[in-house]
Amino acid sequence: MILIDLNVLLDVLQQRQPYFQASSALIDRALADNKSACIPAHAVTTIHYLVAKYGNRQSANRAVDWLLTHFQVAAVTSNELVRARALDWPDFEDAVVAAAAEAENCSAIVTRNVSDFRNSPVPARTPEEYLLIVR
């Protein structure tokens, strides 16, 4: 199981260049492996907000339904929040992602911001790095 960070999902959703190709390939790989990936819970709410803001509510609802169909959601409970605080990172959101990945026993966090996770209990890889490992 890997945890896919929000920035990778947004690369695909927004077709952000030059990241789209690798992030899209990663998502395709995760979908082919059927539920071998999870996403952090806040990614679902953030994507709904952004799609509704720049599109419409129906599209946002479809995006959430798609995410929930294809990915497990790494829960964020008080346990993960306490663990994130104990990590004491400058970016609390990144610490929450690391704590959620740890709680889900993920083998990697796939993100474009690997340097933000240098002290993570779960190793971080870019989409490109991860795709090279699993081939």
- The model's pLDDT over 78-130, given as tens digits with 9 standing for 90+, comes to 999 999 999 999 999 999 999 999 999 999 999 999 999 999 999 999 999 99
Average pLDDT over residues 57-71: 95
At 90 the pLDDT is 96
Average pLDDT over residues 26-37: 86
Average pLDDT in the chain? 95
At 34 the pLDDT is 74
At 33 the pLDDT is 79
At 85 the pLDDT is 98
Band (pLDDT 50/70/90 cuts) for residue 35 is low
The torsion angles phi and psi of 98, rounded to 5 degrees, stand at: -60, -45
Residue from 50, 37, 49 nearest 5 by CA: 37
In the CATH hierarchy, which fold is given to the domain comprising 2-134?
A: Rossmann fold (3.40.50)
Helix orientation angle between 92-103 and 78-87, rounded to the nearest 10 degrees: 120
Give the CA distances from residue 55 to residues 37, 42, 47, 117, 122, in Å, rounded to whole numbers and listed in that order: 26, 19, 11, 32, 35
Average pLDDT over residues 39-64: 95
Cβ proximity of 96 and 81 under 8 Å: yes
At 134 the pLDDT is 80
Q: Answer whether residue 10 shows pLDDT above 70.
A: yes
Cβ proximity of 11 and 23 under 8 Å: yes
Q: pTM of the entire structure?
A: 0.93
Q: Which two tokens stand for residue 63?
A: 């995006």
